[in-house]
């Protein structure tokens, strides 16, 4: 117990299934050490507005740098919010995966064709975006983060919403996600893009669903490798019937970020769900989804198609066998996702697909 200085990390390690628990324990200790290191002071370079931390590179204009955003304090507040809510639940679930989903949906409306959508503006707070079917269930994380944002009046809600997703990944034992502050907030949703830019779980067939994933992600500037890496976020969290119509967790360690999602995709036998999960075995009347042999885990049609499509499956195989590679690729792709729609950060977002030029982009910003 005393090895775990992070309360959430201890609860995760205690509750997860045996095949994953050993990895979780060691990763939780490492994560705690990284979080402590992140609280150290920042090295500023005022001329170009750059602050280098142990966990990320924070880029801003000189004026924004002068505002002295206390990133460590914001991060600590997000972690405390997660830990307090998870302690209140005390059932092995976590609010952290929902923070990831919120950040994802804030940014995932971007279109590279015209630059519309994306995380800048925080239009998620208003209609029509707040009421989209794809955003069902996100009022809860919004309320948590709206309360937290009041403690940091110099930081936009757009930054708080997206940074919470990055912090949630790391807090659950995942990789550090590159993050840039400097988003601004709009006062209404009049510039929201049209509904339909977020991915659907099922388009009625494997070929159509695979094409839909490519249409959605290619529109934002991602490739097949990115699609599979970002799908790995389904290692955490679960679906809720009252929100999406689907039910169940993807893994048995739903508050631990790992490559279990890919292992389960390949090693479990997935069949169409026919009965409800409650006792009595009533017929399942929800949308098509897949379940494990014991009925305790689920996969969406958009998950299963990753192993049916040869190009996607090649990356599923790699990530199943190499968690380090998955973490690296996920951090790069998720960092790019969170930056979409931020014109002042275009140099960071440009060519930052997995295997792309993050370092070269940073060098370009500082004239190297």
Per the annotation, the verdict on 240 as an active-site residue is: no
Q: What is the DSSP track for 269-299?
A: --EE--B-SSTT-PBP-SS--EE-TTSS-EE
Query: If DSSP codes are grouped into helix, strand and coil, which group holds residue 139?
Result: helix
SS3 of residue 146 by DSSP: helix
Question: Residue 238 and residue 247: Cα distance in Å, rounded?
Answer: 7
Instruction: Kindly name the residue from 38, 104, 105, 247 that is annotated as catalytic.
Output: 105
Phi, psi angle pair for 309, to nearest 5°: -85, 120
Nearest Cα to Cα of residue 92 among 232, 244, 233, 249? 249
* Catalytic residue chosen out of the listed positions 104, 132, 247, 250: 250
CA dist., res. 253 & res. 298, Å (int): 13
> In this structure, what are the phi and psi dihedrals at residue 92, rounded to the nearest 5 degrees?
90, -10
> Does residue 250 have an active-site annotation?
yes
Indicate the SS3 state at residue 263.
helix
Ranges of H-type helices in 172-253 = 206-220, 224-231
Structure tokens at 92: 């092995």
The Cα 77–Cα 73 span in angstroms is 6
Give the residue numbers marked as catalytic: 105, 250
């Amino acid at each position: 117990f005393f090895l775990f200085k992070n309360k959430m990390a201890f609860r995760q390690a205690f509750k997860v299934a045996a095949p994953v628990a050993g990895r979780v324990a060691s990763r939780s200790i490492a994560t705690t050490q990284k979080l402590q290191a992140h609280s150290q002071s920042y090295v500023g370079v005022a001329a170009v507005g750059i602050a280098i931390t142990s966990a990320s590179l924070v880029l801003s204009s000189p004026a924004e740098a002068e505002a002295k955003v206390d990133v460590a304090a914001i991060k600590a507040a997000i972690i405390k919010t997660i830990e307090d809510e998870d302690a209140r639940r005390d059932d092995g679930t976590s609010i952290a995966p929902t923070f990831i989903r919120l950040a994802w949906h804030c940014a995932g409306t971007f279109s590279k064709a015209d630059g519309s959508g994306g995380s800048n503006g925080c239009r998620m707070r208003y209609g029509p975006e707040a009421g989209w079917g794809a955003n069902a269930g996100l009022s809860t994380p919004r309320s948590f983060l709206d309360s937290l944002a009041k403690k940091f009046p110099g930081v936009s809600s757009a930054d708080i919403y997206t940074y919470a997703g990055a912090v949630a990944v790391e807090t659950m034992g995942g990789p550090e996600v590159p993050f840039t502050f400097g988003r601004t907030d709009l006062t209404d949703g009049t510039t929201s893009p049209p509904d339909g830019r977020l991915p659907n779980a099922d388009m009625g067939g494997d070929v159509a669903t695979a094409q839909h994933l490519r249409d959605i992600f290619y529109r934002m500037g991602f490739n097949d490798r990115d699609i599979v890496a970002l799908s790995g976020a389904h290692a955490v969290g679960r679906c809720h019937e009252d929100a999406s119509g689907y039910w169940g967790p993807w893994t048995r360690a739903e508050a631990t970020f790992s490559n279990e999602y890919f292992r389960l995709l390949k090693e479990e036998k997935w069949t169409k769900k026919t009965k409800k999960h409650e006792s009595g075995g009533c017929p399942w009347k929800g949308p098509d989804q897949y379940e494990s042999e014991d009925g305790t885990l689920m996969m969406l049609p958009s998950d299963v198609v990753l192993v049916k499509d040869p190009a996607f499956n090649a990356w599923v195989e790699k990530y199943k066998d190499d968690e380090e590679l998955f973490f690296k690729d996920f951090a790069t792709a998720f960092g790019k996702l969170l930056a979409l729609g931020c014109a002042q950060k275009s140099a960071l977002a440009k060519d930052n697909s997995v295997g792309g030029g993050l370092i070269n982009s940073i060098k370009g910003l500082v004239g190297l």
